[in-house]
Structure 1
Amino acid sequence: MKNICCFLVIPLLSELVSGQLKIATVPSLEAYSDGDIKLPCNASLNRNDIKLIWVTWSQATKKVYEYDGYNTKRIVELQGYNVNLTQIHKGDIALTISNNTLTSGVYTFTCEVTEGSSEGRGETALTVREPPPDLPVNAARNVNVTKLPYDLACNVSNLRWNNVETMTLTWKENGIELCFFNGSKSNSQSERCRCDKDNPSYCILRLNEKKSNGDYTCIVTEGKSTGQATMNVKFEVSGNMMMIIIIIIIVVGLGAVVVIFYIKFYCSKRERQSLPSNKDTENHKPEENVSLKNKNTEN
């Protein structure tokens, strides 16, 4: 996604009237060379008919863009300069200058618009600067990881666009790349390695498992600016994990003992219930004696 690069705009619009057409432009603007630059130009059109409109943008005395609305034809269109034709009939004649079209310096741009017999013009003084080479990235020098998952974080200050779509993020472990995040590609945004969409200055690496102790480096780019920060990371999660495992084993073991005890108790109770009681045995003995006596008598 292209980004309009301008870090200082003087909000007062200059208005020059020639004939009956009023033109409003920004008198001065500053921008970096590595981003798209948009020069506003608004015309108070009388009939809003694009076929009556002729547009010319010039840098000093050189035409960089010219459009004939009647013939729907671009007369001049230098590479890197463009006007949105779908907005001309609304009076929006803004010129977009693609990134890296201009080097550092001061330029004077003129917007000229003709509508029928009415015409008008406006000027903008544009100051272009080279982007700062260094991007300030800050992070803790020493980090002790005592539990997982854990987020290693670095913070970026003085972002020019404050938009993840203009950023990349690389995390390295002892010089070896762990992950890469490209903010302009939505499928690269993950929970493990990313700069926060709502807070682009906050970038993380999520550690879900124990890794090697050593130096972890966060490298961030925005446009042509790059910055990095390195932190020394020590993992101290083994003892805690072992304790957790031991506790789990003890709990599972106690649970198994309780279950076995309950099963034995239940089976023993059922077995006792299935055996005849002593009273039933005594009640049957006299009957057995009588039966024997009868058999002896018959014999």
Structure 2
Amino acid sequence: MINKINIFCWLVILFPFSCELLADKTLVAPNGNEIIFSESLSGKNIDKDAWGRIFFAKGNRKIDISLDKHIFTKSQGGRYYTYSNDNVISPTGNYIIINSIYGSMYPTQSGGEKYVDRAYCSIVDMNTGCVVSDRDGEVCGYSWDRNKDLIVSSYHDSFDFLSSKMAVNKSGVNSDWSAQDIKNLTLCDSPNRSNIGAYYLLISKFKKGSDQQKIIKNTIVDWTNDLVNEATVLDKTYLYIEPKENKKSKMYLLKSDKVKVISLSDDNQWVFISYISNGSNPILAWVSKNYLSDFSR
């Protein structure tokens, strides 16, 4: 494990020299991916080695995986993260435990205020950045088994953290999910040919123009752009919700439109395609194979 420390010193004209220490700390997994603790915090009711945000870094990508519903501010409280390198990496190196505190001021019966907090523990998949589990209570006293990726207590009770992992087809995504929830979903169950249709259906669950909807659309567009197989529309053709003649929608494509090929129907007569409208709006639908140019599957 490596701590990365960045020191920036500023010389202000006509004023004494001052130096500010920005001590971001980093946990490095065996695969080289990192958890970066950023925005150092201190003050009343704040533990030592506390941080406002955490990031997952993989190669050139750096993703904020903090829980945005509870971002800490000194005026309102919220969640902050506590750095530790003590038995936080799983035996295989695939997971890291991140501990955090959520605290806030609450009114008392006497008319005053009292600070109350609760400890949380999150488990991050160090291959993807997915926050697999975020729990409070007794399980936060558990630690890694010596030989396998299993959270256990001193009494040998275990916690199946993988059972709570987000999946686009199983998580029951609803309009209450925050932008960070959706971002985490894309890390936990990244788009593929089997679930991209479910991602497309999620667009309608969120308000038009919302951050959640933008994340879903961008995820689909990025995935679509990486597809190799492309086809050209031979003539005006309607789009179908399902690969059936009685499932025609009101939308259509025009001759010479370019589409990306996702998959073929079981009878090899329909093609599931992606078309990007206006450069950023994905449309996923079925098209009769007869209306597309030849392509390799």
Give TM-score scaled by structure 2 length.
Answer: 0.25
Q: Whose helix fraction is larger, Structure 1's or Structure 2's? A: 1
* Structure with bigger gyration radius: 1
Q: Whose strand fraction is larger, Structure 1's or Structure 2's? A: 1
Q: Greater relative contact order (Cα 8 A, min sep 6): structure 1 or 2?
A: 1
Give TM-score scaled by structure 1 length.
Answer: 0.24
